[in-house]
Amino acid sequence: MNFNPFKRTMLATVVTLSTASFYFAQTSDTLQSARDIEQVVLSGVADIAKDRKTPVAVSTIREAVIVERLGNQEFPEILNTTPSVYATKGGGGFGDSRINVRGFDQRNTAVMINGVPVNDMENGAVYWSNWAGLSDVTSAMQVQRGLGSSKLAIASVGGTINVLTRAADKKKQGNVMASVGNDGYHKTLFSYNTGKYESGWSSSILMSRTAGSMYADGTEFEGYNYYFALGFNPSAKHDFQFTITGAPQWHNQRSFQSKISDHIKYGGTEEDPNRKYNQNWGYLNGEEYSMTRNYYHKPVMSLNWDWKFNSDTKLNSVVYASFGRGGGSGDAGGIDNKSYTNLPRTADGLIRFDDIVKWNQGGTVADFGAPDANPFEADGNRRNGLIRRASINSHNWFGIISSLNHKFSENINATVGIDARKYDGMHYRVVSDLLGNRGYTDNSNVNNRPNRITDTFDASASWNPFGGKTNDIEDQMAYSNDGNVNWLGGFGQVEYTNDVLSAFIQGSVSNQGFQRVDYMLFEPAEQKSKKVDLVGFNVKGGANYNINENHNVFFNAGYYERQPFFGAVFLNNRNDVNPDLTNEKITSFEIGYGFRSSFFDANLNVYSTSWDDIYKRTSTRVNGESFVVNMIGMGEVHNGIEFDFNAKPAKFMNLFGMLSIGDWDYNANPTAHFIDDATNTVVDTKSLPLDGLKVGDAAQLTAALGADFKVADWFNVDAQYRYADNLYSAFDPQTVLDGKTNQGEAVKLPSYGLVDFGATFKWNFSNAQGLKLRFNLNNVFDTTYIAESRTSLAADANAANNWNGINKNNEVYFGFGRTWNASIAYTF
C-alpha cells in the first residue's frame, strides 16, 4: 500500500514548532517527505509534533512501515527501535503486550487516538487487546518522549503515543489482504475508500479477522476488527468526520510468569529452556482449555467538527463515546484447599481439567486428595470444588474536547479549550464454567448471603457496539462495585514563531470527581461513598532555535501535579477515603540538538524527570495464592541521553540507528497494602525498601541499527538489529511479605540482541492496481532471552541452581523464539 497523505491540512496548530526523528520512514521516499507527517491527521484536536519546530523528542512511523513490518507482532512492538522505548509481548497472549517509555510503564504514558485519550480513567491502563485491529486503520503513529505536545492534562509522565487513523476522505482505493504465520496464525482483511465526492461526502470501511495461536502454548485466539468513517465537507469552513471502530476478541492467556526451573522441567533443557511453556492451560475433553481467558469489545465512536471562521480563527471539536464490555477469567473455590496452581499436573506441566471435573463430581482422583463429601457443590472457601470465574471490567465513557485557536499576528497565536469526560466503570465476578459442579455458593454479599449461583456466562465478547446490559447482582460473586470518575479540564497555550525561533508556554487545569459504589460490602443505604474532588494542573514551556538550515537546538521544561488513580482515593477495595491523599508531582527538563541535510539526519537529547508521591497497584503470589498490592508514596528519578539518526548514502539504501542510555532509580520507601485476591481483604501492611534500587521492567540501555535496500523497483529487503542491556527485574513485594528483605534488590537480567529481516515484492498493474507480497522473519537467529522477570531472587551460591547467572526460582517471561509471517495484498 503506497502512503498517501490526506488532502486536509491540520486545523489546530500544534504546540510549538521541533526536533523530530523520522528514521522509521525507511522507504524509497526522500527524507524530506518523511517530515511531512503533520499532513496525516484526521482531527484538529490531535497535537502532532513538527520537525525543527515543536521542542520535544519525537519519532514517527508512517503507514507503509506499519503495514509492511508489523506482520504478526504486537502493535507497540513497532516502536522497539525508537530511543528509550521497551516493548514486550508480556505473557504472549494475543494483545497482551506492554510498552515502557523512558522507564515509565503504559499506565503513565499517555496513549491517544486522533488526539483523544484512551488510558483507563480509573487506573491509567491500556489493554492493547482492546485495540487489536488498530494497526489496520493507522495512517501514522507518533511517540513523543517526555512532556509531549498535547495541550491536555494527561498522564504523559514518560511520553505520549498518538495514533492517527485513516480519514474518510482518503483517496479512492480498495485493498484485500491475506496473511499466515507461525503456530496457525492467519488473517484476512478488506478495506475500501470512496474518496471525496464533489458533494463533499466521503467514506471508508475496513473489516478483518485474525485467528490462530501465539508462540506460547495454550494461547489460541480469535479477533475481529471493523472500522467505518463518514466524512462531509460542505464548504471550506466546515469539515465533519464520524468514525466508529471496534475489535471484539477472545484469547487464551499466559497470565503467570513461570519459574525458570519449570521452563527446563517441562519440555526444555538446561541449554534450551522451553520458552513456550504456559502453566495456565490444559485439555478438557480433548480440546485446548485455559483457566485464564480474556474477552472484550470496546467500540469507540467519535464525531469531529472543524470550523474555520476565517483565516485567523478556527474551532476544532470532537465528541466521543466508548462502551467496553468483557473481562478475564481465573479460578475460584478449590480442591482440598488448593487452587489449581497447587494441584498435581501432567508430565508436560499442564492442568488436568478432566480430573478436576471428575473430582468435582465426586470421583476419586488419587493425588488430588480424598473425594469431596459434598460433590457437585463449590464454594469460595477452597474446599468444595474448583470453578472458572470471570472478572468483569466494563465501562461507559463519554467525552468532548474543543479548542479555539486564534492567530493574533504573523508570529503569535493562542489556543484555549476544554476537556470534559464522564466515566462509569463496572467491576464484579461471575461464574464462567462450573467444571462439573452444579452450583457455586458465594458469601460475599451482605445483602444476599449465602448466594447459590447456577448460571454460567460464556467467556466471549459481545458484538453489541452500545455495550448492552450488565449481569444481575444475583449472578455476581466475590465483589461488585462501580468506579465513577468525572473530569472537567481547561487548557491554554500561547505560541510565538518566526523564521528561526519558536517558543511556547502552556498550562492546563483539571478537576476529577471520584465516587465508589459497593453493592456487596454494604447495605443499600450505605453503598455510595462520599464524592471526592481533586484538582490537578500542569505548566510547561519550551523553545526551538534553528541556527541555520542544518542545525537546531531546543529545550523544554514542565511541572505536573497529577491526581492519583482511583485505587489511591479509595484504598483497599472499600469506600473508605484515603486520609492522606496527595497529588503525584512530576518535574521534567530536556535539551536537544538536531542536524538535517539532504542525506543525513540526527538528533541528540538529554532529559531528567523526577516523580514523587506515586501510587501504584500491582499483583504478586505467595505460595501459589494471588494478592493485589497497593503501594503508596513511591518516588522515582529518571535521567538519560538519546541519539538517533537516519542516513541515505545512496539512492537505493537507507540506514537508521539509535542509542539510548538511562539511569532510572527509586528514591523513596512506599507503604504496601497486601489484599487477598480471593477474599478481597487486607492481610498485611508493610514498608517496602525501594530507595536506591533500579527501576525494573524496561531496559535502561537500548540500541538499534537497520538498513533498507531497494534492489529493484519491484523488490526491496530490510533488516535491523536491536540490543537491550541494563534490564532489571521488577521489585517483587512478595519478598517483603515473606520476610526476605535481603532478596528484594532488583536482579540484573542478561543482555540480548535480536535480528529481524523482511522482504517485499510488488507489481503495479496500473496506477490503481497492484499486488504486494511481504515476508517477515523475527528473531532470525532464534535467540533465547528473558524479556521480563516478576521476581528478584539473587543468584544461588550453588551454580547448578542458576541459569545464565539467574536463580532458577525466579519467575520470568522468556521472549519469543523465531517467528515468521507472510502476506499477500491486492490493491485496486
Distances (CA, A) of 179 to 52, 224, 825: 39, 14, 9
Nearest to 442 by CA among 426, 434, 431, 453: 453
Q: How far apart are CA 48 and CA 764, in angstroms?
A: 32
Assess contact for 541 and 503: CB atoms under 8 A. yes
Nearest to 589 by CA among 638, 647, 659: 638
The residue whose grid cell reads 528478584 is: 792
Q: Residue 39 class from Cβ within 10 Å (0-12 exposed, 13-18 middle, 19+ buried)? A: middle
Give the range among 41-55, 511-525, 530-544 with minimum mean pLDDT.
41-55
**Who's near 304: CB < 8 A, 6+ residues apart?**
42, 43, 44, 45, 114, 239, 240, 241, 242, 243, 316, 317, 318
β-sheet with 786-789: strand ranges across = 258-259, 811-814, 786-789
SS3 708: strand
- The b/e string for 248-265 (b: 16+ C-beta within 10 A; e otherwise) is bbbbbbbbbbbbbbbbbb
Segment 283-317, tens digit of pLDDT: 999 999 999 999 999 999 999 999 999 999 999 99
SS3 735: helix
**Who's near 679: CB < 8 A, 6+ residues apart?**
380
> How wide is the angle at C-alpha 277 spanned by C-alphas 272 and 281, nearest 5°?
165
Assess contact for 427 and 479: CB atoms under 8 A. yes
**What is the rounded average pLDDT of the residues 130-159?**
87
**What is the rounded average pLDDT of the residues 276-289?**
98
Predicted pLDDT of residue 572: 78
Write down the mean pLDDT value for the chain. Answer: 90
Tell me the three cell numbers of residue 181. 504465520
SS3 75: helix
pTM of the model: 0.91
Q: Is the dihedral of CA 111, 113, 119, 125 positive or negative?
A: negative
pLDDT class for 340, splitting at 50, 70, 90?
very high
The residue whose grid cell reads 452450583 is: 439
Give the range among 32-36, 498-502, 695-699, 764-768 with minimum mean pLDDT.
32-36
pLDDT class for 468, splitting at 50, 70, 90?
confident
Assess contact for 166 and 137: CB atoms under 8 A. yes
Predicted pLDDT of residue 418: 97
Assess contact for 275 and 816: CB atoms under 8 A. yes
What letter does residue 9 receive in the DSSP assignment?
P
**What is the rounded average pLDDT of the residues 155-184?**
90
Assess contact for 686 and 736: CB atoms under 8 A. yes
Predicted pLDDT of residue 676: 83
Segment 678-708, tens digit of pLDDT: 777 888 888 888 898 899 999 999 999 999 9
HEC readout, 191-216: EEECCCCCCCEEEEEEEEEEEEECCC
The residue whose grid cell reads 541494563 is: 726
**Displacement of CA 672 from its chain's centroid (Å):** 25
Predicted pLDDT of residue 623: 67
Predicted pLDDT of residue 380: 74
Give the range among 20-29, 327-336, 683-692 with minimum mean pLDDT.
20-29
Predicted pLDDT of residue 32: 34
Predicted pLDDT of residue 735: 66
Segment 181-209, tens digit of pLDDT: 999 999 999 999 999 999 999 999 999 99
Asked if the model's pLDDT at residue 519 lies above 70, the reply is yes
What is the DSSP annotation of 450-511? Answer: SEEE-----S-----TT--PPPPGGGEEEEEEEEEEEEEEEEEEEEEE-SSEEEEEEEEEEE
Q: How many residues does the chain have?
A: 828
Asked if the model's pLDDT at residue 27 lies above 70, the reply is no
Tell me the three cell numbers of residue 515. 465516587
- The b/e string for 690-718 (b: 16+ C-beta within 10 A; e otherwise) is beebbbbbbbbbbbbbbbbbbeeeeebeb
Predicted pLDDT of residue 628: 81
pLDDT class for 551, splitting at 50, 70, 90?
very high
Predicted pLDDT of residue 744: 54
Nearest to 378 by CA among 426, 334, 326: 334
Segment 235-253, tens digit of pLDDT: 999 999 999 999 999 999 9
Asked if the model's pLDDT at residue 25 lies above 80, the reply is no
Percent of the chain with pLDDT over 70: 93
Asked if the model's pLDDT at residue 743 lies above 60, the reply is no
Predicted pLDDT of residue 165: 87
Predicted pLDDT of residue 707: 98
Predicted pLDDT of residue 772: 97
**What is the rounded average pLDDT of the residues 378-399?**
90
The more confidently predicted of residues 508 and 152 is 508
Residue type, 95: G
Helix or strand (DSSP H, E) at 623? none
β-sheet with 377-379: strand ranges across = 377-379, 439-442, 451-453
Predicted pLDDT of residue 759: 98
Segment 586-625, tens digit of pLDDT: 999 999 999 999 999 999 999 999 999 998 888 777 666 7
Distances (CA, A) of 352 to 268, 291, 343, 414, 430: 20, 11, 9, 64, 23
Predicted pLDDT of residue 38: 44
Q: How far apart are CA 304 and CA 320, in angstroms?
A: 9
SS3 164: strand
**Who's near 217: CB < 8 A, 6+ residues apart?**
276, 277, 278, 281
Asked if the model's pLDDT at residue 280 lies above 70, the reply is yes
Asked if the model's pLDDT at residue 487 lies above 80, the reply is yes
Asked if the model's pLDDT at residue 2 lies above 50, the reply is no
What letter does residue 698 receive in the DSSP assignment?
S
Percent of the chain with pLDDT over 90: 77
HEC readout, 105-154: CHHHCEEEECCEECCCCCCCCCCHHHHCCHHHHEEEEEEEECCCCCCCCC
Q: Residue 571 class from Cβ within 10 Å (0-12 exposed, 13-18 middle, 19+ buried)? A: buried
Predicted pLDDT of residue 44: 62
Predicted pLDDT of residue 54: 92
Tell me the three cell numbers of residue 230. 463518514
Give the range among 113-127, 456-470, 812-826 with minimum mean pLDDT.
456-470
